[in-house]
Amino acid sequence: MLCSSVPLCFDLPTAQHDRCFYRDFDDLVVRLTQLCCDVETSRREKLSSLVARYDWRVMAARYDDLFAGLLG
């Protein structure tokens, strides 16, 4: 994670955390290797549906509204 930041995905089911977050660099390498070597299985998992709500195209408007409300 960049700059020791922690993703704020409070409504991501805890059961999915191991599938979506990596523990360290070695774990990241293992996961990326698996993704590259078994593309068909990776595509069937459909993890994108779990995190689609965090897509910037969705979140940008929410942030705009939040900051506009702070400015009054």
Q: How far apart are CA 65 and CA 52, in angstroms?
A: 19
In order along the chain (72 residues), what is the average pLDDT of each group of 10 residues?
53 74 89 88 76 86 90 79
What's the confidence (pLDDT) of residue 26? 93
Domain ranges in the chain are: 22-71
What's the confidence (pLDDT) of residue 6? 54
User: Structure tokens of 3?
Assistant: 């700059």
For residue 49, give the amino acid letter.
S
3-state helix, strand, coil in the chain (%, to 5): 75, 0, 25
The radius of gyration computed from the CA coordinates of the chain, to the nearest angstrom, equals: 16
Cβ–Cβ < 8 Å for 12, 50 = yes
